[in-house]
Amino acid sequence: MYDNTNAERPLSQVNALLQCHFSRQHLTSDLAADQARVVRESVRLLHAMVDVISSNGWLSPALATMELCQMAVQVCVAWLDVDWDSTHHRLKFKQKLKVAMEDRLVRTTPHNHTHTQTGHVGARFPSLAATSLFQGAGSRGSPGRRRVCV
Amino acid sequence: MFDLLEMDDEARGALLEGLSEQQTADVATAANRYPDITLKFEVVNAEEVHAGAPVLLAVELEREFEGDLPPVLAPRFPTRKDENWWLVVGDKSSNGLLAIKRVALQARAKAKLEFTAPKDVGKATVVLSFMCDSYLGCDQEYEVELDVQEALEEEEDEQMSE
């Protein structure tokens, strides 16, 4: 996939920058500036791809492209369970959530678009006013640095 | 995500135990910004869906959010990103995409999708997908039942003359 002799080619560079984006590598400021541009453009290109694919009438490639777009924005590759920050917190959090679910403190998490959420609608956000902790914490906190994948 | 928001304070406290104050705040920011959207749909001409004729699907979207909507919460994305959504009508059996519409959803939005009814008379099911371009796991999918009646005569005439 990656050929040393082609390292100067824009194609290889863009590929490398995107790989770094998805694997959350830290780059020096020059490269990071290039990467920012590539990532920004990639989302626009993915939108354009959705347009092209949908004018061909292909359903599943269109949905897959939309999902790839989500992953590019959040830098969360859904099919790889990578622990980027290698902190134990996320792992511990996942385990606790599992235990909580087994205790039926919470319902099973609806995930992905294959599940309808009809029954769920309406009850979702009663907590906005009720949970002082979350609202208070939310307004006080700066934008999150760590993405929580529940 | 919604489970986290719906939990009692006590249970959530136990769940988030061990996180620093900053981390808890980050979790809260993310959870509160996560899109919570109610989707309602209706086939406008449900009584008279004819094979090969247009079907009108009206979709109503409503977001649960107080105040002005900030940009997408994406700490690792280099620039400001606004949410975009796609409404897709598809046919799973043939993997065909029947209609698509891009929606920029703030508090609420209405959209109408038009697509061609299946050729076969009888019950048919198409799938309405509501996809986000920025958040994972918040996509919605609904089955739309259609009762397809025989094709209109006019259309048959047109097809004959072609």
pLDDT tens column, B98-154:
999 999 888 889 999 999 998 889 999 999 999 999 988 889 999 999 999 888 765
CA–CA separation, A124 vs B83, rounded Å?
20
- Which residues of chain A neighbour B141 with C-beta distances below 8 Å? 113-116
- Which residues of chain B neighbour A106 with C-beta distances below 8 Å? 3-4, 6-7, 11
Contact B78 A78 (CB under 8 A): no
Nearest to A54 by CA among A63, A42, A45: A63
Q: What is the pTM (predicted TM-score) of this model?
A: 0.70
- Which residues of chain B neighbour A138 with C-beta distances below 8 Å? 25, 28-29, 31-32
* Distance of alpha carbon B47 from the chain centroid: 23
- How large is the ipTM? 0.84
| Phi-psi sector, B99: left (phi>0), alpha (psi -120 to 50), beta | beta
Give A13 to chain B, closest Cα distance, Å: 18
Give the per-residue pLDDT at A111.
40
For chain B, the first-to-last Cα distance in angstroms comes to 54
CA–CA separation, A75 vs A147, rounded Å?
9
The neighbour count for residue B25, using CB atoms within 10 Å, is 22
Give yes or no for A52 touching B (CB within 8 A).
no
Give B9 to chain A, closest Cα distance, Å: 7
Residue B49 DSSP class: E
Residue A123 DSSP class: S
Contact B29, B73 (CB under 8 A): yes
Contact B26 A36 (CB under 8 A): no
Token output for B34: 């996560």
CA–CA separation, A128 vs A122, rounded Å?
12
Nearest to B2 by CA among A143, A107, A94, A119: A107
Q: Which of A36, A47, A70 sits opposite B78 (nearest CB)?
A: A36
> Using one digit for the tens of pLDDT, what is the confidence trace for B47-57?
889 988 999 99
CA–CA separation, B110 vs A68, rounded Å?
26
Residue B123 has φ and ψ, to the nearest 5°, of -70, 140
Contact B22 A92 (CB under 8 A): no
Contact A144 B73 (CB under 8 A): yes
Token output for A61: 């490639």
If residue B100 lies in a helix (H) or strand (E), which one and from where to where?
A: strand B96-103
Give yes or no for A67 touching B (CB within 8 A).
yes
- Which residues of chain B neighbour A57 with C-beta distances below 8 Å? 96-98
Residue B45 DSSP class: T
Contact B136 A141 (CB under 8 A): no
Give A54 to chain B, closest Cα distance, Å: 7
Give the per-residue pLDDT at B146.
92
Interface contacts (A, B; CB < 8 Å): 206
Contact A122 B38 (CB under 8 A): yes
Give the per-residue pLDDT at A109.
40
Q: What is the pLDDT along chain A (150 residues), one digit of tens a residue?
A: 555 667 778 888 898 899 888 888 888 999 999 999 999 999 999 999 999 999 999 999 999 999 999 989 988 766 554 444 444 445 555 555 555 555 543 333 444 434 333 333 333 323 322 333 343 333 323 333 233 333
Residue A83 DSSP class: -
- Which residues of chain B neighbour A133 with C-beta distances below 8 Å? 9, 12-13, 28
> Using one digit for the tens of pLDDT, what is the confidence trace for B16-75?
888 888 888 888 888 888 888 999 999 998 888 998 899 999 999 999 887 888 888 888
Q: Which of A131, A140, A141 sits opposite B9 (nearest CB)?
A: A131
Nearest to A50 by CA among B85, B91, B58, B39: B85
